[in-house]
Amino acid sequence: MKLQDLLREIVPTRLAGPAGQEITGICYDSRKVTPGSLFVAIKGFQSDGHAYIPKALEQGACALLVQDMPQALPDGVTCVQVSDTREALARVAAAWYGHPERELKLIGVTGTNGKTTVTHLIRHMLEQNGEKCGLIGTNGVFFGDVARESARTTPESLELYGILREMRDAGMTCAAMEVSSHSLVLHRVQGLRFAAAAFTNLTQDHLDFHGDMEQYYLAKKLLFDRCDTAVINTDDSWGARLAGECGCGKITLSARSVEAELVAKNVRLLPDGVQAVVVRDCDIARMTLAIPGLFSVYNGLTAVGCCLALGMTLERACEALASAAGIKGRAEIVPTGRDFTVMIDYSHTPDSMENILRTVRGYAKGRVIGLFGAGGDRDKEKRPIMGRIAQTNCDLAIVTSDNPRSEEPEAIIADILAGMDSKARPKVIPDRREAIAWAVKNACKDDIIVLMGKGQETYQEILGVKYHLDEREEVAKALAD
């Protein structure tokens, strides 16, 4: 593809050099540049891509997309200046991959909690209805027989458009994707138009990036400027506000108010799932989902709402939902063959911790043992809140490490303990492997151990290095010891 074809997608503030050369690839990582590449200089949080322009040129880049013009350019190299290279990257990526987004029905799900479960449910329901649906999110990228890990909840725009192209070429007709607040602010989903977009809830998280809850909300709200129909949980106060502010078509949902368009009535919370009667105008259907907890009622309603937005009937949507299985790392029961239970859940925010612990408390015959930590280099304000929630909802709290990243594990643990009364007597074991082993070895009949924070992850990041850590394997080791 010629550079001039890519430039039709953006509005350069300055162009230096010819625009007729053939582009062989697009890169924003100088290490991946090959001869004939367009190198896009991104200003990141830890490094500035402009500093790697010499390396990109050395590797053979024939064109540059920049915010700051370099002082000098080699002969034959074209430099394109724009106001925001992140946004421009998305636009040229869409063109490079032939605009796959125009050939797919896209469903985006945003919110603090529930994104992964809702997108998995939507994919299952659409495929039960004859569609071929891809999935992009925290647990990875899935379409057809393809299943691979993803580095981010929402990939960078260049990778994202490449994935969408792969999906379309593989025969997918739809794609359900988690849309993070970071991706909206950083233009990773620039250029996408969603047939349906869902808002699950908003609770404290990522304030290290957004600053406060208002900015966090405004970031999430950006999704609803680029969708045809919004599916909104109005039992959440932020969702109620969003329903009043977004200008697209709406399907509101509630388990408390008959004012919503989609209402769950006669809710039953069972140890192995939830049941409800769902009402939309004159339509009534029974909803069953094999994932326990009140949050599952909302996740199920949200998935149903998105399928309704794509034209499915209420009866068919609920029928498809009933056959959905649990999601890896979300209230996942680990087989033990013993008289106690081990559950793995991704809950890593105060709200999600409280939800899963209250759910377990509702049917536990023995002790509720909660094992958790908090991520390093992330919102520190939520750490004592998480400690307080664990103290309130657990018979025994085990405080350990999550992904410490560049922070000292003991410092993170101290922040958590600051929210706990000394009378709570939490067990503190900084090494997560040791903590899991201790919990399993000290479990009694009918106890439920809830391992919170890692979910589907099979690694632990310590001082910038990722080490293999699969909690299922750690539980098996402890049982075998």
Q: Is the confidence at residue 422, as pLDDT, over 80?
A: no
Which run of H or E residues covers position 385?
helix 382-393
Q: Is the confidence at residue 424, as pLDDT, over 80?
A: no
pLDDT band at 326 (very low <50, low <70, confident <90, very high): confident
Q: What is the pTM of this model?
A: 0.91
Q: pLDDT value at position 353?
A: 97
Burial class (CB in 10 A: 0-12, 13-18, 19+), 15: middle
Angle (nearest 5°) at CA 223 between 219 and 226: 140
Residues facing 134 on adjacent strands: 175
Q: pLDDT value at position 207?
A: 84
List, for residues 151-177, the tens digit of each pLDDT value: 899 999 999 999 999 999 999 999 999
Q: Is the confidence at residue 208, as pLDDT, over 90?
A: no
Q: pLDDT value at position 481?
A: 87
Q: What are phi and psi of 194, to 5 degrees?
A: -100, 130
Which range has the worst mean pLDDT, 201-215, 226-240, 368-382? 201-215
Angle of helix 382-393 versus helix 350-363 axis, rounded to 10? 10
Which residue is it, tokens 């000290």? Answer: 442
Q: What is the mean pLDDT of the chain?
A: 96
The average pLDDT across 110-138 equals 97
Q: Is the confidence at residue 473, as pLDDT, over 80?
A: yes
Domains of the chain by start residue, with CATH: 3-86 (3.40.1390.10), 100-322 (3.40.1190.10), 332-480 (3.90.190.20)
Q: Is the confidence at residue 425, as pLDDT, over 90?
A: no
C-beta neighbour count of 88 within 10 angstroms: 27
Which one-letter DSSP state was computed for residue 9? Answer: T
Q: pLDDT value at position 370?
A: 98
Which residue is it, tokens 């990041």? Answer: 461
List, for residues 338-369, the tens digit of each pLDDT value: 999 999 999 999 999 999 999 999 999 999 99
C-beta neighbour count of 38 within 10 angstroms: 26
The average pLDDT across 427-433 equals 97
Strand, helix or coil for residue 79: strand
Q: Which two tokens stand for residue 265?
A: 């009535």
Of 476, 454, 458, the closest CA to residue 467 belongs to: 458
Q: Which two tokens stand for residue 195?
A: 């047939």
